Amino acid sequence: MSEQLSTETRALIRAQLTRRRFLAGAGAVGATAVLAACSSSGEETGSASESAAAESSGTVRWANWPEYLDYDDEAQKYPTLQTFIAASGINVVYKEEVNDNDEFYGKVQVKLEQGKDIGWDIVTLTDWMAGRWIRLGYTQAFDEGAIPNKENILPGLANVGFDPGRKSSLTWQSGFAGFGWNKEVIPGGIKSLDQLFDKKYKGRIEVLSEMRDTMGIILQYQGVDISQPFTEDQFMTAVEFLEKQVADGIIRQVKGNDYLDDMESGDAVAVIGWSGDIFALANDNDGKFEFAIPDSGGTLWSDNVMIPSTSTNKKNAQSVINNYYDPAVAAQVAAWVNYICPVQGAREEMEKIDAALVNNPFIFPDDATLAKVKVFRPLSPEEETTFSEAFAAASGN
């Protein structure tokens, strides 16, 4: 799979505007392209009564991660979604509901097991969690021909181990986990775990609650190839290292996507975080934050859109997904989220907006950048349980 992802990312499709430039230029790219796609309308809501109304009306309810869809601060709308809404009669309720894969799964697991509506028609989850949902029968296979833009997926992503042939999932974005820091506090930057866990930053460092990203970076620091079958002893040695940083008070918290709030408030000055998040913070705070892949290696991951088995709005959900696999629409999203786009043709669309941005190695990774990252290997169910419990205990959770 790591070879597939490397191929995928080499081909990556999209240059990006900064957030500010995107908001100024979005109208030039998007309206016409999205009009062709066809399906959605609505505002963010989320009460139980609204959820019930959505299920009966055909509204598409989409749970995604924070900072993961183009957003206009002034209008307080999602431009590509609103254009899509205007071009169709289908309502879309979009919420930044996913803070952590396990946390989100914990909220809906019982209803999934019972076959009851979980309140979402599209969910966006990382490869390993997407694989779990598919394996357990918690997703619906796409209808043949219902997502014609599916053919635009990068070749390296078209046939993954957890979903051969992409029958039940499509990549939303890919990205890197590495170091993010406040340049005003740490002007020299961070390239190693020794620098991240320096005692001078005690109590102001945070790491991700996504086990594969935090542990993947620690394991590589200790010389372990996370894409290969490392041992339980090697994993536990890395867990002990994490546990010591927590016990010594170096690590303030082990957090999900809400680590962004602490970086912005100044409670945290450096993190193990995600590339697009840190670029978003930098764009929103006059370049105050920076991101780098650790010298010892970062991680490469993908998130995927899927339709839960409990959704009764499959047809409309497929239309929403199809819309975002239109290259022009994908380019708009990519311009804002600063992650690796999975849609062929989006790079060319982005070149029409700002050709200089296609040279950003965190947007269109070159071989040198890809050589610095690994995909965390698949875990057996037994390893998943053992490793997750050890990580949670070391994290203080």
| Residue extents of the structural domains in the chain | 2-173+303-363, 175-300+374-395
pLDDT at site 37: 28
Give yes or no for residue 140 having a pLDDT over 80: yes
Q: What share of the chain is helix, strand, coil (3-state, %, to 5)?
A: 45, 15, 35
Beta strand residue intervals within 87-190, DSSP E? 92-96, 122-126, 169-182
In angstroms, rounded to a whole number, what is the distance separating the alpha carbons of residues 290 and 397? 28
Q: Which residues fall within 8 angstroms of residue 256, CB to CB, at 6 or more apart?
A: 99, 100, 103, 208, 209, 210
pLDDT at site 364: 77
Res. 338 pLDDT band, cuts 50 70 90: confident
Label residue 198 exposed, middle or buried (CB < 10 Å: 0-12, 13-18, 19+): middle
User: Mean pLDDT across the stretch 110-135?
Assistant: 97
In angstroms, rounded to a whole number, what is the distance separating the alpha carbons of residues 27 and 287? 25
| % of the chain with per-residue pLDDT over 70 | 85
pLDDT in tens, 24-66: 333 322 222 222 222 233 444 445 555 555 554 689 999 999 9
What is this structure's pTM?
0.81
DSSP structure class, residue 27: H
Q: Do domains 2-173+303-363 and 175-300+374-395 have the same CATH topology?
A: yes
Q: Is the dihedral of CA 245, 102, 223, 300 positive or negative?
A: negative
pLDDT at site 306: 98
Pair of tokens at residue 187: 């002007």
pLDDT in tens, 366-384: 889 999 999 999 999 999 9
Res. 362 pLDDT band, cuts 50 70 90: confident
Q: Which residues fall within 8 angstroms of residue 82, CB to CB, at 6 or more apart?
A: none
pLDDT at site 351: 87
Q: Tell me the average pLDDT of the chain.
A: 86
175-300+374-395 topology per CATH:
D-Maltodextrin-Binding Protein; domain 2 (3.40.190)
The residue among 255 and 34 whose pLDDT is bigger is 255
In angstroms, rounded to a whole number, what is the distance separating the alpha carbons of residues 117 and 200? 49
User: Mean pLDDT across the stretch 13-23?
Assistant: 31
Roughly what angle, to the nearest 10 degrees, separates helices 232-247 and 211-221? 100
In angstroms, rounded to a whole number, what is the distance separating the alpha carbons of residues 125 and 97? 11
User: Mean pLDDT across the stretch 262-286?
Assistant: 95
298-306 vs 251-255, strand pairing mode? unpaired
| Reported CATH class of domain 2-173+303-363 | alpha beta
Q: Name which of 121, 93, 118 is nearest 106 in CA terms.
A: 118
Label residue 211 exposed, middle or buried (CB < 10 Å: 0-12, 13-18, 19+): buried
